[in-house]
Amino acid sequence: MKVAKTGNEAMAEAMRQINPDVVAAYPITPATEIVMIFSQFVADGLVDTEYLAAESEHSAMSACIGSSEAGARVMTSTSSQGLALMYEMLYVASGLRLPIIVAEVNRALSSPINIHGDHSDTMGARDSGWIQIFSENSQEAYDNLIQAVCIAEKARLPVMVSTDGFIISHCMEVIDMISDGEVKKFVGEYKPERYLLDIKRPYSCGALDLQDYYFEHKRQEAEAMINSKNIILGVAAEFEKSFGRKYGFFEEYRLSDADVAIVCLGSTAGTTKFVVDKMRQHGIKVGLLKPRIYRPFPYAEIAKVLSKVKSIAVLDRSDTFSSYAGPLFTEITSCLYTAGVNVKAVNYIYGLGGRDIGIENIEYVFKELLKISEGKYAANIVNYLGVRE
């Protein structure tokens, strides 16, 4: 069924169809609408969910952890400072191997205060042990959130599904919604392996873990992230078989014969696709790699597809303030190096605080890449695109 929905509405509708047992949340722009719309579903009796209006995002994630340990299917939503306030509990959730789902709307972190979209909040949590899925548009946000439930419960790891604040969260697009019955069938009934309310099989959780076993337990968590790669692809295959839409670790757009390529996350991929098509009409072989899964990072697969091009530009909508490069660039170049792939790479930090990135910006990057591919020297490895300097 084709309907017009904003990114926030699409994620709220997916949550309604999933019908989680518990949603605990505290509102924050630009993610407020997701739980606001969902709370209306609760009030109207359209879901069986226990909705908890927490007093902070830290409390919201704490309630999610307690509910998940009790055996509930749990979801929440947040953004920016809200996600940052959850950081302590994000590590608890992943360490306890709880399949909690967060609908995360990407927004800049303070200071200065900014309510618009960049990836600094999600990137700040990239090493917290959560599977991370990036969405280009409302359709992907909807599809990714449905798949996230199955991924989390099979991997026994929490999953964060993100969209770009305001760019996707508040912009309306036509999406193809799946019927309520089909979504219910796809996600199935949640049957936790163990839970605190099972009095016949009591166990301890969150116990003190010192030098004797902490390392081993973190190693198990790392192994779960490694194993989640096959789970992610398996769920994607089931989703394609059921609904016809194909997903993987990343999307290759006109990349197979490209001389140069841009690598970027989220909504910027849509603008890049437009520019790729435009330049292709003039016989210029450019392409795009759009990572969808950022955690677990598909390093081997990315190195393989990028080995075909002469030069790449990695676009980061966040900065590490490391004096070196953005987070996506460091991981892309690391995987190329370890795979022995010699591809010239440059980094562009862009769009911080929601600053627009336009067609002319993407065209500029491709033109610079073409110069590099012809053997010309890149003046700077790290560049700031669209900033007044």
pLDDT digit string, tens, across residues 151-188: 999 999 999 999 999 999 999 999 999 999 999 999 99
Q: How confident is the model at residue 389 (pLDDT cuts 50, 70, 90)?
A: confident
Q: In the listed set 243, 276, 309, which residue is the last one of a domain according to the structure?
A: 243
Same-domain check for residues 80 and 216: yes
Q: pLDDT tens, 346-373?
A: 999 999 999 999 999 999 999 999 999 9
Q: Is 227 exposed, middle or buried (0-12, 13-18, 19+ CB in 10 A)?
A: middle
pLDDT of residue 378: 81
pLDDT of residue 298: 98
Alpha-carbon gap, residue 131 to 146, rounded angstroms: 14
Same-domain check for residues 286 and 200: no
Is the model's pLDDT at 376 over the cut of 90?
no
CATH of the domain at 260: 3.40.50.920
Residues 6+ apart with CB under 8 A from 136: 168, 251, 266, 267, 269, 270, 290
pLDDT of residue 379: 85
Is the model's pLDDT at 261 over the cut of 90?
yes
Same-domain check for residues 189 and 300: no
Same-domain check for residues 160 and 205: yes
Alpha-carbon gap, residue 114 to 107, rounded angstroms: 8
Q: Where are the beta strands (DSSP E) in the chain?
A: 2-6, 22-25, 50-53, 74-78, 101-106, 131-134, 159-164, 172-176, 250-253, 260-263, 286-291, 293-295, 311-316, 344-350, 382-385
Same-domain check for residues 215 and 307: no
Same-domain check for residues 7 and 85: yes
- Residue 235 token pair: 């769920």
The SS3 call for residue 196 is coil
CATH of the domain at 44: 3.40.50.970
Is the model's pLDDT at 342 over the cut of 90?
yes
Residue 24 lies in domain: 2-243
Same-domain check for residues 221 and 263: no
Q: pLDDT tens, 84-93?
A: 999 999 999 9
Could you tell me whether strands 260-263 and 311-316 are parallel, antiparallel, or unpaired per DSSP bridges? parallel
Question: Span 95-99, mean pLDDT?
Answer: 97
Same-domain check for residues 23 and 88: yes
Averaged pLDDT score across all residues of the chain: 97
Same-domain check for residues 194 and 313: no
Same-domain check for residues 201 and 278: no
Same-domain check for residues 112 and 47: yes
- 282 near 368, Cβ under 8 Å? no
Question: Span 208-236, mean pLDDT?
Answer: 97
Which has the closest alpha carbon to 343: 302, 389, 295? 302
Q: In the listed set 188, 218, 243, which residue is the last one of a domain according to the structure?
A: 243
Could you tell me whether strands 293-295 and 131-134 are parallel, antiparallel, or unpaired per DSSP bridges? antiparallel
Q: How confident is the model at residue 2 (pLDDT cuts 50, 70, 90)?
A: very high
Tell me the helix, strand and coil percentages in the chain, rounded to 5: 40, 20, 40
Domain count, the chain: 2
Dihedrals phi, psi of 315, to nearest 5 degrees: -100, 125
Same-domain check for residues 212 and 284: no
Q: pLDDT tens, 262-319?
A: 999 999 999 999 999 999 999 999 999 999 999 999 999 999 999 999 999 999 999 9
Question: Span 46-52, mean pLDDT?
Answer: 98
Q: In the listed set 243, 264, 281, which residue is the last one of a domain according to the structure?
A: 243
Question: Span 96-118, mean pLDDT?
Answer: 98
Q: Record the pTM.
A: 0.98
